[in-house]
Amino acid sequence: MHVLVTGGAGYIGSHAVLLLLEAGHQVSVYDNLSNSSPESLRRVCAMAGASPELFIGDLLDSDRLKEVMLNVKPDAVIHFGGLKAVGESVEKPLAYYRNNVVGTVNLIEAMECADVRRLVFSSSATVYAESKKLPLMEDAPRDASNPYGRTKLHIEQMLEDLAVSSGEWSIGILRYFNPVGAHPSGNIGEDPQGIPNNLMPFISQVAVGRRNEVKIFGKDYPTYDGTGVRDYIHVVDLAQGHLDAIDFLTHHKGQFVWNLGTGSGTSVLDVIGAFSRACGRQLPYKIVERRAGDIAEYYGDPTAARLELGWKAERGIEEMACDMWKWQSQNPAGYGEFEIGDYTNEDLNAYIKGIKDTLSSTNVVS
Ligand SMILES: NC(=O)c1ccc[n+]([C@@H]2O[C@H](COP(=O)([O-])OP(=O)(O)OC[C@H]3O[C@@H](n4cnc5c(N)ncnc54)[C@H](O)[C@@H]3O)[C@@H](O)[C@H]2O)c1
């Protein structure tokens, strides 16, 4: 099968591209590299012994998107491309609505233009309304509490409307819980710019000495140890869910929603404990005030994904911490700085495929 992956150079996308190539699929990536580096795809190519074709392009450039879609004519699209920082979305809501919502409208129009009607979309557990009823099921009430979450909610609703409007579509909405970890090789992983928003990348930067201590926001929550509880999911398990969703959509028309999580929650203190064991030293932490907007606990019910996709999270918190530590300790500065500058699509493809060893100028620092 030929799969076009938007945002395929990013954290989750690069893991999915690797699994797709390993499973023998042909892969094209559409990414503007605004939050990623070609280095991730270069490493994916080296590991898979096969290459995706990289198309540099923006989801907001509808002409480029149509041109690529008509050229590639994929059997399916996996749509990771988008902005994802909750805090930034509060400061720049329009940038988030434009990039995520308008970008998805453009993508769907380009797909229609090329008669491609199989789509897997990266949604998030952030679309669920706060609830005391756990685990969260797919039909739980939705109500996002920030602009980022609302972009996901709007896109979900748009995809529902699309599936109602035409019986031709096969759409899978995947609601991720908290993706963490890295490929067990330590070659690819999450490379956040600036101060990480999420707990696990923050902890791993403390472990590698880039930050002093982990801040725990509140120890008086009604949870098993007083700290916040979340459903962490290993990025390789998560990536596998996309391959299983594509298989399912090959045989089913309509619109489907699946939670991708482990089905149980882990506290902040337990995550710090697992990471301390992984890196071999007790990581320093400090309890500080609760953070506005944080909720005590949530985790999802992944039964639908198990029954319908045959998917199940295989890796636990110790493995997530070990693999994350391997990635972080082997790559303390992530993939290094990258700016797209004047690089051509050809340059970048030659680089990721190993035909060129460097990207000539100072744009890539490894
Ligand atoms: N990582 C998480 O915690 C998490 C949780 C739930 C959902 N998600 C969703 O999963 C998807 C992938 O997340 P990730 O963690 O891999 O993020 P990421 O930032 O690492 O990857 C996103 C990719 O999309 C690209 N991109 C962004 N805007 C684009 C545009 N306009 N045109 C073309 N490419 C563009 C970026 O360059 C990047 O390569 C996102 O849609 C995100 O909202 C992520």
Could you tell me the domains of the chain?
Answer: 2-352 (3.40.50.720)
pTM value surpassing 0.85: yes
Is 361 a residue whose pLDDT tops 60? Answer: no
pLDDT at res. 362 = 43
> Given phi > 0 = left and psi -120 to 50 = alpha, else beta, which region is 38?
alpha
- If you average pLDDT over residues 120-140, what whole number do you get? 97
Is 278 a residue whose pLDDT tops 90? Answer: yes
CA gap 331, 333 in Å, rounded:
5
Q: How far is CA 7 from CA 11, 68, 121, 215, in A?
A: 9, 14, 11, 30
Model confidence at 359, pLDDT cuts 50, 70, 90, reads: confident
Pocket probe mutation, ligand 1, options 12, 230, 258, 298, max atoms within 8 Å of Cβ = 12
CA of 295 to the centre of ligand 1 (A): 23
- If you average pLDDT over residues 107-123, what whole number do you get? 98
More confident residue, 192 or 96: 96
Helices (H), the chain: 11-22, 38-48, 62-72, 86-91, 93-96, 103-113, 147-165, 199-207, 235-251, 268-279, 303-304, 317-330, 345-352
pLDDT at res. 194 = 84
CA gap 5, 119 in Å, rounded:
10
CA gap 206, 143 in Å, rounded:
33
Q: Active-site residue numbers?
A: 148
Is 230 a residue whose pLDDT tops 60? Answer: yes
Mean pLDDT rounded to a whole number for the chain: 96
Is there a contact between 31 and 81 (Cβ–Cβ < 8 Å)?
A: yes
Query: pLDDT for 235-271, tens place per residue?
Result: 999 999 999 999 999 999 999 999 999 999 999 999 9
Ligand 1 atom nearest 176 alpha carbon = 6
Ligand 1 atom nearest 34 alpha carbon = 37
Model confidence at 31, pLDDT cuts 50, 70, 90, reads: very high
Query: What percentage of residues in the chain have a pLDDT greater than 70?
Result: 98
- Residue burial 32-50, b: 16+ Cβ < 10 Å; e: rest: bbebbbbbbbbbbbeebeb
CA of 293 to the centre of ligand 1 (A): 22
Query: What percentage of residues in the chain have a pLDDT greater than 90?
Result: 91
- If you average pLDDT over residues 106-111, what whole number do you get? 98
Q: Which two tokens stand for residue 26?
A: 């042909």
Is 298 a residue whose pLDDT tops 50? Answer: yes
- If you average pLDDT over residues 328-340, what whole number do you get? 92
- If you average pLDDT over residues 305-314, what whole number do you get? 98
Find, among 63, 13, 15, the residue nearest to 34 by Cα: 13
Is 363 a residue whose pLDDT tops 50? Answer: no
CA of 79 to the centre of ligand 1 (A): 9
Ligand 1 neighbours, Cβ below 6 Å, are: 7, 9-13, 31-36, 58-60, 80-84, 99, 103, 122, 124, 176, 179
Query: How many residues are present in the chain?
Result: 366
CA gap 283, 148 in Å, rounded:
31
Q: Which two tokens stand for residue 221?
A: 């929550």
CA of 225 to the centre of ligand 1 (A): 32
Is there a contact between 173 and 255 (Cβ–Cβ < 8 Å)?
A: yes
Find, among 174, 235, 227, 225, the residue nearest to 204 by Cα: 235
Is 360 a residue whose pLDDT tops 70? Answer: no
